[in-house]
Amino acid sequence: MLYREAGQFKTSYAKDWAIFPIAQDRIVVLGFLAIAFIAIPVLSSEYFLATILMPFLVMSMAAIGLNLLTGYAGQLSLGTGGFMATGAFAAYKLSTMFPGMPIEAVFLLSGVVAAFVGILFGIPSLRIKGFYLAVATLAAQFFLLWLFNKVGWFTNYSTSGVISAPPRTILFTDIYVTGPEASVTAKYLFALTLVAILALAAKNLVRSSIGRRWMAIRDMDIAAEIIGIKPLQTKLSAFAISSFYCGVAGAMWAFLYTGSVEPLAFDINRSFQVLFMIIIGGLGSILGSFLGAGFIIALPILLTNAPHLLGLNIPVDVISHVEYMIFGALIIFFLIVEPHGLARLWQILKEKLRLWPFPH
Amino acid sequence: MSFLNAFFVDPFVQIADYPLFFIEVVIGGLLSGVMYSLVALGFVLIFKASGVFNFAQGAMVLFAALSFAGFIEMGVHPIFAFILAGIVMAGVAIAIERVVLRSLVNQPAIILFMATIGITYFLDGFGQTLWGSDVKVLDLGIPQTPIDVGGIFINQFDLFAAAVAGGLVLVLAIFFQKTRIGRALRAVADDHQAALSVGIPLKTIWAIVWTVAGLVGLVAGAMWGAKLGVQFSLALVALKALPVLILGGFTSIPGAIVGGLIIGVGEKVAEVFWGGAFGGAIEDWFAYMLALVFLLFRPQGLFGEKIIERV
């Protein structure tokens, strides 16, 4: 009743090609954007913005990146953390080497740097497939982190190895978005804008010819090759664009979320975290990347605070172990209940809404 | 220039000058490679029989070592503690089969892989909740002192570990080739459906395979635990076993052994002779790069089954 495409006629090609062809979808998306851009900065506390929404935005970006590679192009990668670190360090080097460069350009260029590194480590994917490739991408993860740790040039020869993001303003204004003077709200809005634009780009990308090529390679690469899809360009472009998103996410992590650039933030656990997000959220779904990121970010916070809310008094070290257990168990539970991820639940809900209030 | 010198000249000069030291490093590498093989074996067993890429092997190693050390701390005789820990691992294996694998039959491989990462988190947390998170000393009564063999120093403990690994592979080989269950396991590994159709109970077989992998994990855990102390970092040993695995091939037990030896030697030689050129600590990624280079020439690993693709 509420959600129904009957009666919505497409009278032009532009309407037929629209990214959200159904009016209700458009309303929901615009509603969410309005809430995210207007209601949340006004209503929510700084703490909520800085500790929950910022990591959510950053990790959604990384999840979109990995989802393009794993969910759409079918190349399993465990190097996400390495590519994020590349973006973070590229952003740091770019902004310190060229102090006049606009921060927007720094973010996008650091994504481009990560994309080139991604291409480099994507080359083995032409020979290696499946889990062999997944383990091979671990080489990227370990090698890149080692490189940033060892080579002083990347940290401008800082002795502690932890460096803070330089303060920068948005182009044509004097509003700080990075550095200690930036307000949390400004950082949030900047991150949100980046995520919104790049998510829209990703949504368009996956329905363009390049996205369809990725899916063909994912579904059966030999068959795709036979119908004329070049595996070299397709796989490497998937690695490049995925690493671009991960690189921008890494730059966001360092500049907007924590304010400091450190290799430890991008270790192997970060890669697994992003992989969890896209599996729980839904492989091959942009919406799923957001849902998964939200779930994986919110779950540990809930688990940490649950004993207090329930009035239980458990020692801290036991809590952290039990947290691990519950986290693992919930992952397994979700995989068993809905292997297609949270995005699938949303589809089921849409089906139900289409029929509501009549059951058949 | 100095980098090129440190990379292309110095190491070879060193090797030529001190051949005995080089041999010592190689033997040290071989023996530590055996330790990697021990962990990689568990992966191979499960991948062969059920096609699951079991990331939880590292957590199983940790859990087994924690239980083993925990039982010893409770005052149980080491031999009984080993048996008890073995029973615990069998319990874990059966629980995994019941709860996780049975519910995820016919799902894509990546979902099963994710599930094993979930198991990793669960086992890491469970083990430390149960047995505490402080470092446990596991003393098997084997001296760690090096012995002198014709001018070359070899760590006694590493020799013992190599003997254990050899024995384990022998036992596994006999188990797989000669026993009824072993034959059933090989049949399942070859073809699930064909095995089912001739009446081999798939679920029982999976439980057995996971139990065997758990026992292999227990042996690996006991060895690593005696070497490094039983602590959380044992779970990270799995990350060392992964390059061994792709080098040797996911489906080959000899591959796991040979892969482990290659990685062990390569890593030690590179660290000792080429580490200086890169500024040290290259052990973290060297194994992966080595495996990657091998994979570019043999995408299925050294001993893996040839990948045949049909459209």
Secondary structure in 3-state letters for B252-285: CHHHHHHHHHHHHHHHHHHHHHHHHHHCCCCHHH
Does the pLDDT value for residue B164 go beyond 80? yes
Q: Which residues contact B95 (CB under 8 A, 6 or more apart)?
A: none
What is the per-residue pLDDT across B208-217, written as a single tens digit (0 to 9) for each?
Answer: 889 999 999 9
Distance, in Å, from the CA atom of B65 to the CA atom of B86, rounded to the nearest integer, reads 10
Beta bridge pairs of residue A248: none
pLDDT mean over A331-352: 87
Of all residues in chain B, the one with the smallest CA distance to A124 is B296
Element (H, E) at A261: strand A260-261
Does the pLDDT value for residue B3 go beyond 70? no
Within a domain: B277: yes
What is the per-residue pLDDT across A6-24, written as a single tens digit (0 to 9) for each?
Answer: 778 888 888 888 888 888 8
What is the rounded average pLDDT for all residues in chain B? Answer: 83
Of all residues in chain A, the one with the smallest CA distance to B121 is A328
What is the rounded average pLDDT for all residues in chain A? Answer: 88
Q: Tokens at residue B147, please?
A: 């012995």
Which residue has better confidence, B134 or B241? B241
Does the pLDDT value for residue A143 go beyond 80? yes
Distance, in Å, from the CA atom of A242 to the CA atom of B124, rounded to the nearest integer, reads 31
What is the per-residue pLDDT across B17-30, written as a single tens digit (0 to 9) for each?
Answer: 777 788 888 888 88
Does the pLDDT value for residue A42 go beyond 90? no
What is the per-residue pLDDT across B63-91, written as a single tens digit (0 to 9) for each?
Answer: 999 999 888 888 888 889 899 999 999 99
Does the pLDDT value for residue A206 go beyond 90? yes
Q: What is the pLDDT of residue B29?
A: 85
Per-residue pLDDT band at A241 (split at 50, 70, 90): very high
**Interface subset of B 81-100, CB within 8 angstroms of A:** 99-100
Closest CB to A132 among B239, B282, B295 = B295
What is the per-residue pLDDT across A67-80, written as a single tens digit (0 to 9) for each?
Answer: 999 999 999 899 99
ipTM score for this prediction: 0.84
Does the pLDDT value for residue B1 go beyond 60? no
- Tell if the CB–CB gap between B288 and A143 is shorter than 8 Å: yes
State whether residue B135 sits within 8 Å of chain A by CB.
no
Within a domain: B166: yes
Which residue has better confidence, A277 or A181? A277
Within a domain: B310: no
Distance, in Å, from the CA atom of B250 to the CA atom of B248, rounded to the nearest integer, reads 7
Per-residue pLDDT band at A87 (split at 50, 70, 90): very high
Q: Which residues contact B231 (CB under 8 A, 6 or more apart)?
A: B133, B134, B135, B136
Distance, in Å, from the CA atom of A312 to the CA atom of B40, rounded to the nearest integer, reads 41
State whether residue B109 sits within 8 Å of chain A by CB.
yes
Per-residue pLDDT band at A34 (split at 50, 70, 90): very high
Note the maximum CA span of chain A.
67
What is the per-residue pLDDT across B187-207, written as a single tens digit (0 to 9) for each?
Answer: 887 777 888 888 888 888 888
Which residue has better confidence, B238 or A269? A269
Mapped onto helix, strand or coil, the DSSP state of residue B229 is coil
Does the pLDDT value for residue A264 go beyond 80? yes
Per-residue pLDDT band at A1 (split at 50, 70, 90): low
Q: What is the pLDDT of residue A172?
A: 77
Distance, in Å, from the CA atom of B251 to the CA atom of B266, rounded to the nearest integer, reads 22
Q: Tokens at residue A55, please?
A: 């990591």
Chain A residues lying within 8 Å of B239, measured CB to CB? 138, 268
Long-range pairs of A216-225 with CB within 8 A, sequence gap ≥ 24? A217/A73, A217/A74, A218/A72, A218/A73, A218/A74, A218/A284, A219/A74, A220/B311, A221/A74, A221/A129, A222/B309, A222/B310, A222/B311, A223/B311
- Tell if the CB–CB gap between B239 and A138 is shorter than 8 Å: yes
Give per-residue burial for B140-166: e unless 16+ CB within 10 Å, then b: bebeeebeeeeebebbebbbbbbebbe
Chain A residues lying within 8 Å of B242, measured CB to CB? 135, 138
Q: What is the pLDDT of residue A244?
A: 97
Percentage of chain A beyond pLDDT 90 is 42
Query: Please, what is the angle between helix B10-17 and helix B19-50, to 10°?
Result: 110
Per-residue pLDDT band at B110 (split at 50, 70, 90): confident
Q: Which domain holds residue B212?
A: 2-297
Q: What is the pLDDT of residue A17?
A: 86
Q: What is the pLDDT of residue A85?
A: 95
Within a domain: B211: yes
Distance, in Å, from the CA atom of B126 to the CA atom of A323, rounded to the nearest integer, reads 10
Within a domain: B309: no
Chain A residues lying within 8 Å of B290, measured CB to CB? none
Q: What is the pLDDT of residue A331?
A: 85
**Interface subset of B 215-244, CB within 8 angstroms of A:** 239, 242-243
Which residue has better confidence, B35 or B276? B35
Distance, in Å, from the CA atom of A218 to the CA atom of A75, rounded to the nearest integer, reads 7
Domain at B206, CATH number: 1.10.3470
Q: What is the pLDDT of residue A119?
A: 94
Q: What is the pLDDT of residue A48?
A: 85
Check residue B148 and report its DSSP letter: E
Does the pLDDT value for residue A166 go beyond 80? yes
Chain A residues lying within 8 Å of B300, measured CB to CB? 132
What is the per-residue pLDDT across A286-339, written as a single tens digit (0 to 9) for each?
Answer: 999 999 999 999 888 888 877 777 776 667 777 778 888 888 898 888 888 888
Q: Which residues contact B126 (CB under 8 A, 6 or more apart)?
A: A321, A325, B63
- Tell if the CB–CB gap between B118 and A329 is shorter than 8 Å: yes
Give per-residue burial for B248-263: e unless 16+ CB within 10 Å, then b: bbbbbbebbbbbbbbb
Within a domain: B311: no
Within a domain: B87: yes
Query: Beta-carbon neighbour count of residue B267 at 10 Å?
Result: 22
Closest CB to A226 among B281, B285, B311 = B311
Within a domain: B226: yes
Does the pLDDT value for residue B116 go beyond 80? yes
Which residue has better confidence, A34 or A179? A34
Which residue has better confidence, A131 or A84? A84
Q: What is the pLDDT of residue A309?
A: 74
Number of domains in chain B: 1
